[in-house]
Chains A and B, each alone.
Chain A
Amino acid sequence: MLDICDVSVFYDQRSVLKNCRLHLAAGERLALMGPSGCGKTTLLRLALGLQMPDSGTVRSRFQRPAAVFQEARLLPWRTAAENVNAVLNDTRETLDEAERWLSRLSLADACRLYPSELSGGMQQRVSLARALAFQPDFLVLDEPFHGLDEALQAHTVELLLHALPHDLSILMVTHNEQEAVALGCRILRYHEGSFC
């Protein structure tokens, strides 16, 4: 469960979030939609504990959060499989598991390739595989299909739908309503400093 209560965040004295509230129950899926700069990503960072609010409280009872950021954030000196393995036990034994997760996202042939040898879409799928391999109870997606063409977006959403556990809580940011609906998310739209 995630409880964001009366949270305000300022950047250079400019208010990004003002008395914002958000509640995410276990198994619930929410998608945040709104114009650029309205604080969607800030909210995700608060939920992940990567940022502290200037006021208000953030309480998370999720034990295993995972995230897919706008950019894939793959370690450039590790292969695709090793990148996935980095969030597992990072042993030879768990490397097979990492490769299985990559296969589930149609990346079986990319296991031994380095990020620089992968296309943007493939990198993002490796990032998704890494998040799912972690077997999270809470998944944060920050425009995970950003920069992919429509066909690849649809394909990736479909792959993801097959790989996602049904009871997984999701908090995502997207500009594409169809994506959010396809992933079973309830949509919260930005309105006067808050999401409702």
Chain B
Amino acid sequence: MNEGAVKKLKRFLLALVFWLGLWFALSVLIRQELLLPSPWQVLRRLLALAGTRSFWRMTGSSILRVLIGIVSAALLGVLLAFLTHCSRLAHTLLAPLMTLVKSTPVASFIVLALVWIGRDLVPVFITGLIVLPVVWGNMSEALVSMDPKFLELAKVYRMPRLRILRRITLPSVLPSFRAALSTSLGLGWKAGIAAEVLTVPKQSVGRMIYESKLYLETTDLFAWTVTVVVLSLIIERTLFMLIGRSERGRQHA
């Protein structure tokens, strides 16, 4: 680990200790587990939950739903960006729809989706709905602002279309794709879990959060929330690592 990374880690740990300390101090002051459990109580509960099979089943199902939503929306967003880049008509038709999707409250979509499709699919749909316009918007901009000099080069040397796509277009737009995922991943994950809370699919973290609220099990609520945060970080890092691998050499750009 280099010096910069060590410094960054130190700063992160310092902030973590500060906020955990504050949380602990508040819980001691309030002294009511129902209102604010201490970090220690939450950790104990989380470890107890992690020891059960159902915990992994629930988190696994939620991750799967969110990932299906993210991946399918990202793919669709990229395809639609290429389509709207090639066809002005497609752009004219799609652009207002994307703006509408972006500005409509997630809760409205959740309720509508619950009417339209099965409850197990609502979180997938909602996650996708959050990710899609961001990926489409970023990719569309990236395609428009691609360096025309490289395309001229490809034209002069009569490169086949597939090679232009692989060697020029995709590397040119990859940073924008990464930025789009970075922006939408956290939002998509949170929206997916919110959809689960409202639609309570059988196997889901959202259902557990809902039940914790229903039975006033605040410690459980915190433990599941911590799970959501940790999973969000893991998913984000894993996806970025995968994209980073395909981006080798890009740092020289």
A-B interaction:
yes
Interface centre among B149, B167, B171 (most CB of A within 10 A): B167
Interface residue? A107 (CB, 8 A): no
Tell me which residues across on chain B come within 8 A of A50, comparing CB atoms. 152, 155-156
The B interface is mostly helix, strand or loop, or mixed, namely: helix
Q: CB within 8 A of B253: which of A65, A76, A86, A134? A: A76
Q: Shortest distance in angstroms between A114's beta carbon and chain B's nearest beta carbon?
A: 4
Cα of A49 to Cα of B157 in the assembled complex, Å? 11
Q: A186 CA to B249 CA in the complex, in Å?
A: 42
* Min C-beta distance of B176 to chain A, whole Å: 14
Q: Which residues of A contact B250 (CB under 8 A)?
A: 77
**Chain A interfacial residues counted at CB < 8 A:** 24
Contacts of A78 in B (CB 8 A): 167, 171, 249
Nearest CB on A from B31, distance (A): 58
In the assembled complex, B159 has its CB within 8 A of some CB on chain A: yes
- Which chain A residue has the least Cβ–Cβ distance from B160? A90
Contacts of A76 in B (CB 8 A): 252-253
**Cα distance A36–B171 when bound, in Å?**
34
Contact A90 B155 (CB under 8 A): no
- Supply 13 A–B pairs (Cβ within 8 Å), ascending by A: A65-B156, A66-B157, A67-B156, A73-B149, A73-B150, A77-B249, A78-B171, A78-B249, A86-B159, A116-B253, A117-B252, A134-B157, A140-B156
Closest 8 CB pairs of A and B: A114-B252, A76-B253, A87-B157, A77-B171, A116-B252, A77-B249, A67-B156, A77-B250
Q: Chain B interface (Cβ within 8 Å of chain A)?
A: 149-150, 152-153, 155-159, 163, 167-168, 171, 249-250, 252-253
